Structure 1
Amino acid sequence: MTKILVVDDETDLETLIKQKFRKQIREKKYEFLFAINGVDALEKIDAEPEVDIVLSDINMPEMDGLTLLSKLSEYKPLLKSVIVSAYGDMENIRTAMNRGAFDFITKPINFEDLIITIEKTIKYTEQIKDTLRAIKENNILKMYVDENVLNFMGSSEYETKLLANETIEATVMFIDVCGFTKISETVPADTVVKMINTYFDIMVNEIMEHNGFIDKFIGDAVMAVFRGEYHLDRAIDAALAVRNRINQVDETEALDGFRPKVSIGIKSGEMISGNIGSASLKRLDYTVIGDTVNTAARLQDAAKENQIVICEDCYKQVSEAFKCNKLGEITMKNKSAPLAVYEVLE
């Protein structure tokens, strides 16, 4: 419903408007509010901030229509006004336009012309609202999507690459905040969200610093993927950096004595990269799947506080670059033989 404020000291205009627009009022297409001058109009707008259009006379006591236009330009710059006046000389028209009037109609009112003008003004107002909404949505989107991704979305390669599925060689890392589920059950939701977001920011910064990217957030855990040259080495470097930074969280970032610790699982190998999800639900996640991903998640499950756990295959690749300690073997679902695991120390 469009709310229209009619500002005129001629009280019989209210009756006339209600008669001429009775169909639109009955169908709840328009809702009309009335004010007798500019001062009254500003009070009505304060009380009804959702007013879409102002129809205003010029010659009124206390505050005339031209002064009201100036006030509205400062107070409600997006609110569009149409002057409806018997003073239709060029000087008044130019003054009204210079002060922000969207259009000008002369009295006696031609109601067919008024209806067309109202519809035109509504359409323009909706265009402004849509533009502002798009700007806000874009700014919100930037909070969730990397700027490089947004730029890529606007390129001709977007659809082709988005739909491409491929087998890649990469490293997957799962990071979990140990004991966070328990603390989240005893503190306010806002505090929990603020705290976990602080920890996630620390992790994300270190992962990106080592040219990894965030695949997803899973509750109080992060899944990251590293591709390209030395992807396993970079993943381990990122894991060590995350552990060190989380261990340095100061008292101001701690909650009720809870000092965050992380457990990390890392696995390198072949995996499938593509759009996974439900097309009918229109929820697809561009992610990686496969045994390598599942193993990384199981390694994280096996890791304790402050532990970075890798399998033997990964250990053999990085044993000269990182100091590791063998933890033993773990049994994994759907694996016939136990898996030898190592802890990365430094």
Structure 2
Amino acid sequence: MPKILVADDEADLEVLIKQKFRRQIRDKKYEFYFALNGMEALTILENNPDITILLSDINMPELDGLSLLSKLSESSSLVKTVMVSAYGDMENIRTAMNRGAFDFVCKPVNFEDLELTIEKTIQHVNQIKNTLQAIKENNILRMYVDETVLNFMSRQDVETTLLANETVEATVVFLDICSFTSFAEKEPADKVVKLLNRYFEVMVKEIIAQNGHVDKFMGDAIMAVFRDDFHLDRAVEASLAVRKEIDELPSTSDDQNFSPKVAIGIKSGEVISGNIGSASLRRLDYTVIGDVVNTAQRLQTRAKASQILIDDHAYEQIRQSFNCKIVGEAALKNKKTPILIYEVLS
């Protein structure tokens, strides 16, 4: 129900409005508030932030209508003001409009015209509310949905585009917080979530610093993807920075005395990039899939605390830039032959 504030020092206007709009008030179509001057109007607006329409006279004691308009503009109020005044000359109308008035109604008041003006103002306010809600929802959506998906959603060929995919060169990194699951089983949920989010913030900061993309959070692990020039080098740099930052975090001050460490697996090569899921359910996850993703995850599973593991293919590409040591051959799940594993030291 729209809430309307009437600011006018003529007390009989309140009586007239209550008479002329008695049916709308009875049906709870409108709810009116009344003030005898601008200062009183500001107080009512402050105490009732859900008032969206102001009907204001110009000539009022203490604070006139034009000054009231200026006050509302300074506070960035979403209240829309309709001036209702006998001072209907062009100078006053222009001044009111320049100070943010939505419309102007001259006295003596034609109440049919006033109701049409109120309805028009309500529609405008609702449009603003819908726009703000859409912006809010869009900002929330950006917390959960990849930017590429949002760009797709703004295009006309949504159904076709959402299911498009491509093969690209990328580096996939899995970063897991070691032993966090066993720690979480013995701690209150609120503490576990806060601590995990704290660790994730540290890790995400370093991933973004190297122009990486956080593909998803998986329990107490992160899957990150690096694309474009020198994607493998940037992935290794980010992994070293994450390890350093996590190793320097203090232990928890409780009985378990948990000290965070990360185990990291890195694999570079061709991946399939696209929206994976069900279009009919409208549940799609913009992600990468393929052998590179599977291998990176399995390397992370083999990694010990504070260890960064890569395969021989990645080693050959970065050995001139990073200090690595051989770990040995290992048989990974669903791999026909063992692969040679290296540890990135620095």
Fold-level match, TM-score > 0.5? Answer: yes
Residue of structure 2 equivalent to 1:198 = 201
Alpha carbons 2:4, 2:31 under 8 Å: kept: yes
C-alpha distance 188-155 of structure 1, shift in aligned 2 (>3 A): closer
Provide the TM-score with structure 1 as the length reference: 0.77
**What aligned pairs does 1:56-135 form with structure 2 within 5 A after superposition?**
56-75=56-75, 77-130=77-130
Alpha carbons 1:168, 1:273 under 8 Å: kept: yes
Shift of 1:267: 2.6
Looking at structure 2, the residues matched to 41 and 206 of structure 1 have their Cα atoms a distance apart, in angstroms, of: 50
Residue of structure 1 equivalent to 2:261 = 261
Q: Counterpart of 1:323 in structure 2: which amino acid?
A: C
**What aligned pairs does 1:215-234 form with structure 2 within 5 A after superposition?**
215-227=215-227, 231-232=231-232, 234=234
What SS class does the counterpart of residue 201 from structure 2 fall into?
A: helix
Shift of 1:15: 3.8
User: For residues 244-283 of structure 1, what are the alpha-carbon distances to aligned partners after superposition, in whole Å with 9 as ceiling and x for unaligned?
Assistant: 343344x4xx543544321011233443222102223323
Looking at structure 1, the residues matched to 223 and 45 of structure 2 have their Cα atoms a distance apart, in angstroms, of: 50
Residue of structure 2 equivalent to 1:326 = 327
**What aligned pairs does 1:171-182 form with structure 2 within 5 A after superposition?**
171-182=171-182
1:188 aligns with 2:191: yes
Shift of 1:197: 3.8
Count of equivalent residues = 338
Residue of structure 2 equivalent to 1:17 = 17
Larger mean Cα displacement after TM superposition, 191-200 or 179-188 = 179-188
Looking at structure 2, the residues matched to 158 and 322 of structure 1 have their Cα atoms a distance apart, in angstroms, of: 48
C-alpha distance 288-27 of structure 1, shift in aligned 2 (>3 A): farther
Looking at structure 2, the residues matched to 42 and 338 of structure 1 have their Cα atoms a distance apart, in angstroms, of: 76
User: For residues 187-214 of structure 1, what are the alpha-carbon distances to aligned partners after superposition, in whole Å with 9 as ceiling and x for unaligned?
Assistant: 6367426512432234314542xxx433
Looking at structure 1, the residues matched to 45 and 220 of structure 2 have their Cα atoms a distance apart, in angstroms, of: 46
Looking at structure 1, the residues matched to 154 and 73 of structure 2 have their Cα atoms a distance apart, in angstroms, of: 39
Provide the TM-score with structure 2 as the length reference: 0.77
Residue of structure 2 equivalent to 1:306 = 306
Looking at structure 1, the residues matched to 299 and 306 of structure 2 have their Cα atoms a distance apart, in angstroms, of: 13
Alpha carbons 2:274, 2:287 under 8 Å: kept: yes
Q: Counterpart of 2:201 in structure 1: which amino acid?
A: T
Alpha carbons 1:267, 1:310 under 8 Å: kept: yes
* Structure 2 stretches lacking a partner, 5+ long: none
Shift of 1:40: 2.3
Residue of structure 2 equivalent to 1:39 = 39
User: For residues 14-35 of structure 1, what are the alpha-carbon distances to aligned partners after superposition, in whole Å with 9 as ceiling and x for unaligned?
Assistant: 3432343344434543221122
What SS class does the counterpart of residue 42 from structure 1 fall into?
A: helix
User: For residues 219-238 of structure 1, what are the alpha-carbon distances to aligned partners after superposition, in whole Å with 9 as ceiling and x for unaligned?
Assistant: 33221224456654554444
Looking at structure 2, the residues matched to 230 and 92 of structure 1 have their Cα atoms a distance apart, in angstroms, of: 64
C-alpha distance 152-330 of structure 1, shift in aligned 2 (>3 A): same
Q: Counterpart of 2:71 in structure 1: which amino acid?
A: K
Looking at structure 2, the residues matched to 61 and 343 of structure 1 have their Cα atoms a distance apart, in angstroms, of: 79
User: For residues 158-177 of structure 1, what are the alpha-carbon distances to aligned partners after superposition, in whole Å with 9 as ceiling and x for unaligned?
Assistant: 97876432334443210112
Alpha carbons 1:325, 1:344 under 8 Å: kept: no
Q: Counterpart of 1:120 in structure 2: which amino acid?
A: K
Alpha carbons 1:263, 1:306 under 8 Å: kept: yes
Alpha carbons 2:174, 2:224 under 8 Å: kept: yes
What SS class does the counterpart of residue 166 from structure 1 fall into?
A: strand
Looking at structure 1, the residues matched to 116 and 209 of structure 2 have their Cα atoms a distance apart, in angstroms, of: 59
What SS class does the counterpart of residue 173 from structure 2 fall into?
A: strand
C-alpha distance 22-282 of structure 1, shift in aligned 2 (>3 A): farther
Looking at structure 2, the residues matched to 115 and 241 of structure 1 have their Cα atoms a distance apart, in angstroms, of: 64
What is the percent sequence identity of the aligned residues?
Answer: 59
What SS class does the counterpart of residue 51 from structure 2 fall into?
A: coil
Q: Counterpart of 2:293 in structure 1: which amino acid?
A: V
Q: Counterpart of 2:203 in structure 1: which amino acid?
A: F
Shift of 1:63: 3.9
Looking at structure 1, the residues matched to 93 and 240 of structure 2 have their Cα atoms a distance apart, in angstroms, of: 71
C-alpha distance 190-39 of structure 1, shift in aligned 2 (>3 A): farther
What SS class does the counterpart of residue 174 from structure 2 fall into?
A: strand
Looking at structure 2, the residues matched to 166 and 138 of structure 1 have their Cα atoms a distance apart, in angstroms, of: 26
Shift of 1:178: 1.8
What is the RMSD of the two structures over their aligned residues, measured on CA atoms? 3.9
